């Protein structure tokens, strides 16, 4: 009996594919508060490591590159009491995000850890942080309009399902308020919000005022405030996009909100300069600007699944400069941009949408001909008024001298009334079109 048990037990052990894995560990050789250098490690970029400090403290860092036989890491947390030769060991594989319906209604940080006090997220799937390369021919056209509840956007800058749009403005002009209006009214199966590099106060405010109630149940929020590590800020943007991609693969209509794309570029600038990359335009190294297309191009429609990601990015124009490198790069990649004017905001016009430089590149594909014609009439009247504004205000223009100016003067109150909208009001797409064609449909 004993011999048979021994034979069976030892035989089972012999057939088991046991492959012992060595414990990888290195030593901290350099640390300046953010960038670390470790020796004795050979790990892929993106691997998360733990560094043991004094008093039982531990700080996490991510591998971001290599130099002269040393592994370069970026601090993911705050300051820690680290000493030379502190042990460095890998604790997580690179490049995966938790995704799926288990995340609905939850708030996570850049590392995917829940910060809403609702406990551990269970039953989540996994998706590559960097996304999956998509064949350009698998990317469908934008053919259906999307109702965002904002009259000026629905009527004059109609957004389509799968479109990528930027909201561009300086600080304090109303980007976040406009985002909140869109989130509350947008018709989408899932809303994924990435609050990247913004004020910590805005996170709680966004949750309580923008996506409260029923909207919260179909939303996923990735929050990485401005005081977090630049690596975490970039990871937060990648994580939000990966979550949206996973829902799109299920055939769902996803709205991806990212506030803001500029803060992601700022994080890339910090990392690039820490690695010794030369600064170019406005202090941005080439890698920081080159990162934007790879992030934005992940949104859009998918032919195989039938799902779509409609992405809206806020872009901060530093110093109200429309030629800022991030603004200029984003404008060239996106499928449309909405420019907010400080001049209109100072006049009390909200949302302060400057229709002149704003454009939706897919509007002619998704809107009816009479709708497009009426929008062009409104734009023409507004442009004529702005071109002759000084003459009109000085009293140098006499009525009847130019029929186009007379028409612009007569229509200007209706134009401004169409653009204005209270922050808590919702104007559906059919209503916005009916108002536009009713007033400006005759040319």
Threshold 0.85, pTM exceeds: yes
Q: Where are the alpha helices (DSSP H) in 281-368?
A: 286-296, 325-333, 342-346, 363-366
Mean pLDDT per 10-residue section of the chain, whose length is 443 residues: 57 55 81 86 88 83 88 81 88 82 92 88 88 82 92 95 93 86 88 90 82 83 90 92 95 93 92 84 85 92 92 88 87 93 88 93 94 95 90 82 90 92 92 94 72
pLDDT of residue 398: 84
**3-class secondary structure, 125:** strand
pLDDT of residue 266: 92
Output the six-digit token pair for 343. 């001049």
162 Ramachandran zone, left/alpha/beta (phi>0; psi -120 to 50): left
Strand partners, 72: 37, 65
pLDDT of residue 226: 87
- DSSP annotation string for 307-318: -EEEEEEEEE-G
Pairing of strands 300-301, 219-224: unpaired
pLDDT of residue 435: 94
pLDDT of residue 436: 95
Write 99-103 long-range contacts (CB < 8 A, 24+). Answer: 99/124, 99/125, 99/126, 99/127, 99/242, 99/243, 99/245, 99/246, 99/247, 100/124, 100/125, 100/246, 103/220, 103/243
pLDDT of residue 207: 82
Backbone angles phi, psi at 73, to 5 degrees: -130, 150
Please check whether residue 27 is in contact with residue 45, taking contact to mean a CB–CB distance below 8 angstroms: no
Q: Is the dihedral of CA 256, 199, 179, 163 positive or negative?
A: negative
């Amino acid at each position: 009996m004993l011999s048979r048990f021994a034979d069976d037990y030892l035989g089972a052990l012999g057939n088991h594919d046991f492959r012992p894995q060595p414990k990888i560990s290195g030593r901290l050789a350099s640390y300046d508060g953010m960038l670390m250098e470790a020796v004795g490690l050979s790990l892929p970029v993106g691997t998360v490591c733990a560094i043991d400090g004094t008093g039982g403290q531990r700080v996490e860092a991510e591998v971001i590159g290599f130099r002269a036989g040393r592994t370069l890491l970026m601090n993911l947390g705050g300051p820690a009491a680290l000493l030379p030769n502190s042990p460095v060991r890998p604790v997580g594989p690179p490049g995966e995000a938790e995704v799926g319906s288990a995340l609905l209604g939850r708030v996570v940080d850049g590392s995917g850890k829940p910060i809403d006090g609702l406990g551990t997220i269970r039953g989540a799937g996994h998706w590559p942080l960097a996304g999956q390369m998509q064949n350009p021919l698998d990317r469908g056209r934008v053919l259906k309009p999307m109702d965002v509840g904002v009259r000026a956007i629905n009527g004059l800058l109609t957004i389509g399902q799968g479109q990528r749009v930027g909201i561009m403005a300086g600080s304090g002009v109303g980007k976040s308020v406009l985002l909140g209006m869109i989130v509350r009214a947008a018709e989408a199966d899932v809303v994924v919000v990435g609050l990247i590099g913004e004020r910590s106060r805005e996170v709680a405010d966004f949750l309580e005022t923008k996506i409260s109630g029923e909207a919260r149940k179909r939303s996923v929020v990735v929050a990485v405030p401005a005081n977090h590590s630049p690596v975490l800020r970039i990871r937060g943007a990648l994580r939000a996009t990966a979550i949206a991609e996973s829902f799109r693969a299920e055939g769902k209509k996803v709205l991806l909100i990212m506030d803001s794309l500029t803060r992601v570029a700022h994080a890339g600038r910090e990392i690039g300069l820490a690695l010794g990359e030369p600064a170019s335009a406005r202090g941005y190294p080439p890698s920081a600007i080159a990162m934007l297309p790879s992030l934005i191009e992940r949104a859009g429609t998918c032919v195989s699944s039938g799902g779509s990601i409609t992405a809206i990015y806020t872009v901060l124009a530093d110093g109200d400069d429309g030629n800022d490198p991030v603004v200029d790069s984003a404008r060239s990649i996106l499928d449309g941009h909405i420019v907010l004017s400080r001049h209109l905001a100072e006049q009390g016009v909200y949302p302060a949408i400057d229709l002149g430089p704003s454009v939706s590149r897919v509007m002619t594909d998704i809107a009816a001909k009479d709708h497009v014609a009426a929008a062009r009439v409104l734009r023409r009247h507004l442009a004529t008024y702005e071109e002759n504004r000084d003459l009109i205000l000085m009293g140098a223009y006499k009525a009847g001298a130019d029929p186009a100016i007379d028409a612009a003067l007569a229509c200007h109150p209706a134009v401004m009334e169409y653009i204005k909208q209270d922050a808590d009001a919702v104007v559906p797409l059919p209503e916005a079109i009916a108002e536009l064609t009713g007033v400006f449909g005759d040319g």
